[in-house]
Amino acid sequence: MTDVAAGSLRRRRSRSRRTAFLLVLPGAAVLAALFLLPIAQLIAGSFSDHAGALVHYRRILAVPVYLLVLGRTVVISAITAAICLVLGFPVAYRLVHAGPRGKAAILLCVFLSFWTNLLIRAFSWMVLLNPNGIVSHLFGAMGMPGGSVKLVYNLTGVLIGQTQILLPYMILPLAAVMSRLDDAYVKAARSLGASPFRAFTAVYLPLVRTGTLAGCVLVFTLSLGSFVVPALLGGPRDMFLAQLIEFNINQTLNLGFASALSTVLLATTLLLYWIGDHWFGLGQVWGGR
Amino acid sequence: MGRTLRRGRLGAFAVSAAAAVVCVYLLVPSVAVLPLSVTATNFVVFPPHGFSTGWYQALFTSQVWRNALISSFSVASLTTLVATPVGTMMALGLANFHGWLARASNFIVLLPIIVPTIVTAVALYSALAPLGLVGTIPGLALAHTVLALPFVVINVSAVLAKLDPRMVQAARSLGARPLAAFRLVTLPNLLPGVAAGALFAFLTSFDDFVVALFLAGVGAVTLPVQMWSGIRFEISPVVAAASTVLLATSCLLLALQRLVRGR
Amino acid sequence: MTSRSMDGKSVPTRRTVLASGLAMGATLAMPAIVRAADQEIVFATWGGSWADAMQKAWFDPFQTKTGIAVKTVSGNTYGKIEAMVKAGRTEWDVVETLPDFQWIGAEKGLLAPIDFSVVNKSLIMQGADMVTPYSVPQVLFSEVLTYNTKFKPPPQGWADLFDTAKFPGMRALDGGDIQDALEGALLADGVAPSALYPLDVDRALKKLSALRDSIQFFDTNAQGEQFLMDGQCTLGVLPDGRALNVRANGGPVDLQYNATITTWSTMVIPKGAPHLAAAQQFLAFALTPEAQAAIAQAYTYGPVVPKAFDLISPERAKILSGGPQMQGKAVLRNEKWWSENLSAANEKFNAWKLG
């Protein structure tokens, strides 16, 4: 490469880096001023109590309730993400590979569920799933004794409600990635003799990886911070950490403790994110090459 | 060959059937709201007792609900208008980051989703109050932009990651300037991601009530906040009526869009 | 109780950078708030039909009498009050809260003192710290044992709540406000009402353990009403106004006044309220016998002003908290104890729920 060419390449590289920074700037400014700074203040607040810097954290470690609830929150959120993946995949696939009427129909379903306010949906499920309600009667008609399967105010209720609410967050990113996928790869695999199953697992799945990961990350993190569905549809054991945080903010006005709980939640997510990056290359989702 | 074809068709059928079942599952609570809104009693039971359109009457004659609807739409539209371009730019910029900077900034972008909304609400309140933006439409839109940004970035980034960089290089080598290459090559391919992101942004704002509850003042009560108070204290069927009206509107919009598209 | 070291101070640099750009937009968007001459007050409420009742019984007559309009706003959470006051941007003049806030809010310096030269303290009923320098009571309500009318003979008291043999079925208990569950459990366990406080939380939880599989917790009172309305639960502890609502709507329930815990709702003025004088006037108005009788007529909660009973018909009085049917049977809750111990009790309750 000649000196001129090398110089121009360097200039182009630094220009592109400058452009990259400029592009990121407005968003970064909004996040920094309106979000990062106040959150940092909140976290700092969790460490500055009269009774000592670590009093809140010691309480979290000493009283088993909090870590137990955190654990359950993580596990239930993970299960929700998995279910969303299994249920959302066929829908995303059909959305991308359907004719205009099919596309419209599926989009209608997704859109409609999105448009119904979260609270309405939660209450709707409560009414539908209650032991004297319609779903129970359906089960009874199908031969199972009506009251035997308890569908609400327990983990089942939480999963049914949470999954339905978070499904669109799995379907849309998946569909967006799938729609950019060239059919040619799968067709090539099939023409080379691969069974549909093999073509799917060995060729298609890896290609939609970024969509899968994006969807799972979205659903998982949204579920971690939620509290409406677990509160309304869950049983006593299905407490999410956000409920405890909300209690401490709105009832006992213990903002310091609530901040400490939030910091713990944040730290847990950091840890899981790091593991995800290590094991699944999560960072790839955002093109961090 | 025939067996593979049949297996292929079977597989395709299974996928379609599964998709159909899931779509019904998605629809169920939204559709169930309709009969709930015409119940004659004060109570929400399914199937409903009696029939009455009284709740719709109450809804349409109410200034409070009308204002709430307008507020919600204003805030959500503003949020989408700001968050979509800002988020798309962010995604484009982030794609050029490498190594630890990429990982760190990707995580920071995700933070508004990770942090429980109630905590974000308190933080946003303390940030916006000194500026006098609490209880105003622009203030709420600003707050919602913070919540919506991650969604836009995630959606655009996911599509960006699949974009073949060689296409842009090809365009450049053929003489296109960077901006033109972006406009003619990158942007059209990015559109599904941007569209999905914009949709998420609108709905995040429209659906949010934790932040809106904190930031709503006398001047900016959004629909979810109005619904929340109509649910929290008692489950009034007026809320079900409001929900049905929203659904009907969105169906109408979708139908209109299809008509305009012409297909 | 803890306090925070972070204050609502704004960082100068942030202000100069953002404020110059946003101030323009903000002033254009800010609603025109009429601040002159205390022409209106903002009342933060729980909303729903309760707010409608107050509109009829209090807000409209108040406006007719003084010319001061009352604007209602919902979302009256403590967290929001705190955020408002700390930021120095109090928007609300009067807030209705639960009684524990009388002390919690005062301790945190979030409340303005009540002007008792305007508000007539002597009219209010005596008992258990209902009036503090920073708050006045609003209305009386009670948590009452509610039962399905299919039970004949009906349950007679707290002990029957725990008798799953004689009264089978699920019990509806408030999962968020744990107070009733604990007090009810102790009373059922044989503790005398006078010896109830300080509550022996561990003993109450032990008693509740026997009932564990039969409890269906609700998150909002509306849910609780629903459970008893459609028969999911056959027994429950609900606010009396709610239980009466279920009955009025044809639900198969009745109330057992032998098992009653009475408490009250509170009105406070947050510190820095924009219309302080008008707020005090409103409180004075709401505590007159006429106003209290009016609200008791509009909604099934009891007056905190005994003289109001002179203005209420006997049939109505029979279903109100503080009325004749509850005399000698109701236990008045010790809200002061709860304000000091809510956090610790809730922690134990959560642990019990998980285990």
- pLDDT average, residue stretch B2-6: 57
Q: Pick from A16, A41, A95, A124 the residue to mutate for testing the B interface (most B CBs within 10 Å).
A: A124
User: Which of B177-191, B200-214, C83-97: highest mean pLDDT?
Assistant: C83-97
Distance from CA of B218 to the nearest CA of A (A): 20
Q: Is the peptide bond before C153 cis (omega within 30 degrees of 0)?
A: yes
* CB under 8 A, 24+ apart: contacts of C180-187: C180/C143, C180/C237, C180/C261, C181/C208, C181/C237, C181/C349, C182/C208, C182/C345, C182/C349, C183/C261, C183/C331, C183/C333, C184/C143, C184/C145, C184/C158, C184/C237, C184/C259, C184/C261, C185/C158, C187/C158, C187/C259, C187/C331
A108 inside 8 A of chain B by CB: yes
Q: Show residues of chain A in contact with C77, CB under 8 Å.
A: 250
Q: Rounded to an integer, what distance in angstroms lies between the CA atom of residue A114 and that of residue A116?
A: 6
What would you report as the CA-atom Rg of chain B, rounded to the nearest whole angstrom?
A: 23
Provide the shortest C-alpha distance from residue A52 to chain B (in Å): 22
Distance CA B100, CA A114 (A): 35
- Residue B179's φ and ψ, nearest 5 degrees, are -65, -40
Q: Which residue has the higher pLDDT, A7 or C37?
A: A7
Quick one: closest CA in C to B46, which residue?
C230
What was the ipTM of the complex prediction? 0.79
Q: C-alpha angle C53/C59/C65, rounded to 5°?
A: 140
Judge if the upstream peptide bond of residue C12 is cis by omega within 30 degrees of 0: no
Nearest to B102 among A90, A168, A286 (CB): A286
Q: Does C157 touch chain A (CB under 8 A)?
A: no
**Residues C106/C111/C113/C114 CA torsion (nearest 10 deg):** -110
CB crowding C63-79: b at 16 or more within 10 Å, else e: eeeeebebebbbbbbbb
Residue A144 pLDDT grade (very low, low, confident, very high; cuts 50, 70, 90) = low
Q: For A252, name the nearest residue in chain C, comparing CA atoms only.
A: C343
Asked whether the predicted pLDDT for residue C13 surpasses 70, the reply is no
Asked whether the beta carbons of residue C2 and residue A231 sit closer than 8 angstroms, the reply is no
Could you give the dihedral angle defined by the CA atoms of residues B181, B182, B184 and B189, in that order, rounded to the nearest 10 degrees? 130
Chain A touching partners, 3 or more CB pairs below 8 A: B, C
Contact with chain A for residue B147, Cβ under 8 A: no
The tens digit of pLDDT for each residue in C266-291 reads: 999 999 999 999 999 999 999 999 99
Closest alpha carbon within chain B to A168: B26
Confidence of residue A87 (pLDDT cuts 50, 70, 90): very high
pLDDT category at A4 given cuts 50, 70, 90 is: low
Rounded Cα–Cα distance for residues C318 and C323 (Å): 6
Q: Which of B107, B86, B203 is nearest to B149 (CA)?
A: B86
Interface check for C9 against chain A (CB to CB < 8 A): the answer is no
Across the interface, do A24 and B94 touch by the CB < 8 Å criterion? yes
Tell me if chain C has a CB within 8 Å of the CB of B131.
yes
Residue closest to C146 by CA, chosen among C205, C47, C231: C231
Which of A21, A42, A217 faces B93 most closely, judged by CB atoms? A21
Chain A interface, mutation test: which of C1, C2, C215, most A Cβ atoms within 10 Å? C2
Question: Helix-strand-coil percent breakdown of chain C, rounded to 5?
Answer: 45, 20, 35
* Residue B161 to residue B155: CA distance in whole angstroms: 10
Rounded Cα distance, C73 and C94, in Å: 10
CB of A267 within 8 Å of a chain B CB? The answer is: no
Task: Please say if the pLDDT value at position B126 is more than 80.
Answer: no
Residues of B in contact with C225 (CB under 8 A): 43, 234
Return the axis-axis angle of helices A100-115 and A155-179, rounded to nearest 10°: 140
Mean pLDDT throughout C35-53? 78
- Measure C232 CA to nearest chain A CA, in Å: 7
Which string of DSSP letters, residue by residue, matches C260-292? EEEEEEEEE-BTT-TTHHHHHHHHHHHTSHHHH
Distance of CA C243 to the CA centre of its chain: 16
Distance in angstroms (rounded) separating the CA atoms of residues A195 and A191 = 9
A chain contacts of residue C78, beta-carbon cutoff 8 Å: 250-251, 253
Nearest residue, CB atoms, C231 vs list A64, A69, A132: A132
- C216 touching chain A per CB within 8 A: yes
Buried b / exposed e along A179-204 (16+ C-beta atoms within 10 A): bbeeeeebeebbeeebebeebbeebb
Each residue of C306-351: pLDDT tens digit?
A: 999 999 998 888 888 888 888 878 888 889 998 889 888 988 988 8
Query: Of the ranges A51-60, A274-283, B38-47, which is most confident?
Result: A51-60
Residue B200, min C-alpha distance to chain A (Å): 8
Per-residue pLDDT of C193-215, as tens digits, reads 888 889 999 999 999 998 888 88
Q: How many helices and strands (H and E) does chain C possess?
A: 15, 9
**Whether the Cβ atoms of residue C69 and residue C39 lie closer than 8 Å to each other:** yes
Distance, CA of B7 to CA of A190 (rounded, Å): 12
Q: Are C189 and C162 contacting, i.e. CB atoms less than 8 angstroms apart?
A: no
Residues in A touching B247 (Cβ below 8 Å): 112, 115-116
Chain C's closest residue to B132, CA to CA, is C26
Segments of chain C assigned E as strands = 40-45, 69-74, 94-97, 135-148, 170-174, 215-218, 233-239, 253-268, 330-332
**The residue type at B255:** A
Nearest to A231 by CA among C219, B117, B40: C219
Q: Which of A24-28, C34-38, C260-264, C338-342 has the lowest mean pLDDT?
A: C34-38
Main-chain phi, psi angles of B74, to 5 degrees: -60, -50
Q: Give, as one character, the DSSP assignment of residue C43.
A: E
Q: Which helix (H) or strand (E) holds A268?
A: helix A255-280
A117 touching B, CB under 8 A?
A: yes
Note whether A264 contacts B: Cβ–Cβ < 8 A: no
- CB contacts < 8 A, A to C, total 89
Asked whether the beta carbons of residue A250 and residue C78 sit closer than 8 angstroms, the reply is yes
| Least confidently predicted of B140-154, B173-187, C278-292 | B173-187
Q: Model confidence at C117, in pLDDT bands (50, 70, 90)? A: very high
**Does any CB of chain B come closer than 8 Å to the CB of residue A180?**
yes
Predicted structure pTM score: 0.78
- Interface contact B45, partner A, CB < 8 A: yes
Give A167's contacts in chain B (Cβ within 8 Å).
Answer: 22, 26
Whether C35 and C274 have beta carbons less than 8 Å apart is answered as yes
Q: Which of C79, C232, C353 sits opposite A131 (nearest CB)?
A: C232
Chain C residue nearest residue A71, CA to CA: C354
How remote is the C-alpha of B111 from its chain's centroid? 18
Q: Do B110 and A217 touch (CB under 8 A)?
A: yes
Nearest to C77 among A63, A69, A250 (CB): A250
Enter the tokens of residue A6. Answer: 């090398």
For C102-155, list the strands marked E by DSSP.
135-148
pLDDT in tens, C139-184: 998 999 999 999 889 999 899 999 989 999 999 998 877 877 899 8
Chains that touch C (3 or more CB pairs under 8 A): A, B
- Whether A239 sits inside 8 A of C5 (CB atoms) is no
Does A66 contact B at CB distance below 8 Å? Answer: no
Of A93, A117, A125, the CB nearest to B207: A117
Q: Nearest by CB to B92, which of A23, A109, A176?
A: A23
